[in-house]
Chains A and B, each alone.
Chain A
Amino acid sequence: MISFVAFSLKRAWEGFWRNAVMSLAATATMVLMLLLLAGFWVINTGLLAGLEFTEKKVNVVADLYDNVTPGQVKDLRARIAAMPEVSEVVFVSREDALKRFRDNRRAQGEEDLTRFLDTNPFHQSLEIALTDATLYSSVYDRLVVEPTVQLVKNQQDLVERVLTVTNFLRTAGGVILAVIGVIVLFIIVNAIRLAVVARAEEIDIMRLVGASDAFIRWPFVFEGALVGLFGAALALVVLALGAEPLGGFMYDFFRVLPLTFGSLSRDVALLVFGTGVGLGIVGSWVSVRTYLIK
């Protein structure tokens, strides 16, 4: 068994270099396809993070009557926070609301007109973040019946429009990634097949001298894995070199998004290696099968 594996590995290595042109062509194809796949994976991850960020922006704002006491606020806040749909409840006092308005005006470079006001026109309010934007209406329904609540801003239409767009983008991203995946699959398998077909005569001789299927198949399977391994390693080197400028670009593009590049680069490395080696093996397995015993 060990000698069989050693034999297959040795033959795979020899085979790779004996047909260097075909092997390198297959490896180059592998590198390009893996880069394509990894690129779209990164873009899709960025897109998903962006969508999640957008959906997190959806919250329910409930204005309270001015005469509601801090005790009542605390009570209401606790009851709302206990709802499973709610992730966070923030109380905004009248003073906070005024201050926030002034800050916004200043940030926009607009003149602050509130200094001409005699009284604070803002209401105290609760800002409720949702675990999921689709749960908007159930939280809304719950709040409107509260006696201490003066007004709940109904943003249902807006929420639905946001959700329509984000769901569409999410599906589109998934579909594009899947299509790219299928294209990559076919091109890589085809490149490996060409490398195997170039050695049809060798396989023929092996068959004629009485080599068993395993002795014919495994060297090619290992060779396919080798192409995948080389391809993946090269693709990752290219990605690592490109990560710094690419990461900067991604950050500039999505600006405020809390993208975690740590887990992303791990995912991409796994994706590239898994796809490369996996398709190398599958490609040669399928390609050699044509030549085995009928």
Chain B
Amino acid sequence: MILAPPGAHNRTLRSRLFGRARGRSTVEPAVLALRDVTKTYPNGKSALKDVDLVIPEGDFVFLVGPSGAGKSTLIKLLIRDELATRGQVVIDGQDLARLSRRQVPKIRRKIGIVFQDFKLLPSKNVWENVAFALEVTGTPHRKIRPAVDRVLALVGLSAQARQLPGQLSGGEQQRTAIARALVHDPRLIIADEPTGNLDPLISWEILQLLLRINELGVTVLMATHNADVVTALRKRVVALEEGRVIRDEVGGTYHRTH
């Protein structure tokens, strides 16, 4: 497997793919930054404690840790499904706690999110599932068709565009979900256990797809339990345990190396 490291030329690639260059619009150097974030749920359960995490644009980061370590809470904070009890969550230069309700959907369009269970609409075909993300955000019709065709080509599903999710393999369903996450031309892809329901071979396919998207300049944060993948790729690894970041190393492995 040959993968070019993210570099300056990738911005050009990405521009070519998405049709426009993207300059850095704010002073914030990172796509995503958590500063001293603590999250305590109303029932008193403490999910995150003093988490500091900065992810620069173009990074590929694995988020690992046992179940209940706080990965899901972290993701909920990033898409502003929950608000931090203390500390600051900044996406693309914007403090999520200061967003008005109206601005929340706009920040969510900058984030593409992929789940373990795909979350596809069973009654819509592949093309419609991807187009759905644009329709419900008020994108004009003439812009929907080219955008959907483009991302389906990117994930390699052009031929399956008219099939329903039920007719697809798990890998194809996840690629549909990735296409949907990409269709808004996001700055950040958050993948929550994207390979959790897939066999090892298909998992690698999905991972390669995410790496390719990362090469195009999109930042990727992937929560996973897949130790083989994490260890093999030697990317940046952030490990959570009991709500704290216990390890954050570039070129890390799934398990702590002693």
Instruction: Give me the interface of A with B, judged by CB distance under 8 Å.
Output: 3-4, 7, 18, 201-202, 204-213, 215-216, 293-294
Q: Which residues of A contact B119 (CB under 8 A)?
A: 201, 204-205, 208
Q: Which residues of B contact A293 (CB under 8 A)?
A: 80, 101, 104-105
Contact A208 B79 (CB under 8 A): yes
B interface size (C-beta, 8 A):
27
Q: Which residues of B contact A201 (CB under 8 A)?
A: 119, 121
Per-position contact with A for B112-151: 1 when CB-CB < 8 Å, else 0?
0100000101010000000011011110100000000000
Contact A210 B132 (CB under 8 A): no
Could you give 7 example pairs across A and B, Cβ below 8 Å? Answer: A201-B121, A205-B133, A206-B132, A208-B108, A211-B136, A213-B101, A293-B80
Contact B105 A211 (CB under 8 A): yes
> Number of residue pairs across A and B with beta carbons under 8 Å?
58
Instruction: Give me the interface of B with A, judged by CB distance under 8 Å.
Output: 79-83, 101-102, 104-109, 111, 113, 119, 121, 123, 132-133, 135-138, 140, 180, 184
Answer whether A211 and B123 are a contact pair too, CB < 8 Å, given A205-B132, A293-B104.
no
Answer whether A7 and B104 are a contact pair too, CB < 8 Å, given A205-B119, A205-B121, A208-B119.
no
Contact B180 A209 (CB under 8 A): yes
Further pairs besides A208-B79, A215-B137, A215-B138: 9, Cβ < 8 Å: A206-B136, A208-B119, A209-B184, A211-B137, A212-B105, A212-B137, A212-B138, A215-B136, A294-B82
Contact B123 A18 (CB under 8 A): yes
Give complex CA distance A293, B102 in Å: 9
Contact B79 A209 (CB under 8 A): no
CB distance from A181 to the nearest CB of B (A): 34
Give complex CA distance A4, B184 in Å: 19
Give complex CA distance A7, B131 in Å: 13
Give complex CA distance A276, B150 in Å: 45
Q: Which residues of B contact A204 (CB under 8 A)?
A: 119
Give complex CA distance A166, B49 in Å: 70
Give complex CA distance A206, B113 in Å: 12
Give complex CA distance A211, B101 in Å: 12
Give complex CA distance A207, B136 in Å: 9
Q: Which residues of B contact A209 (CB under 8 A)?
A: 108-109, 132-133, 136-137, 180, 184
Contact B136 A216 (CB under 8 A): yes
Q: Which residues of A contact B184 (CB under 8 A)?
A: 209-210
Give complex CA distance A174, B187 in Å: 61
Give complex CA distance A115, B45 in Å: 101
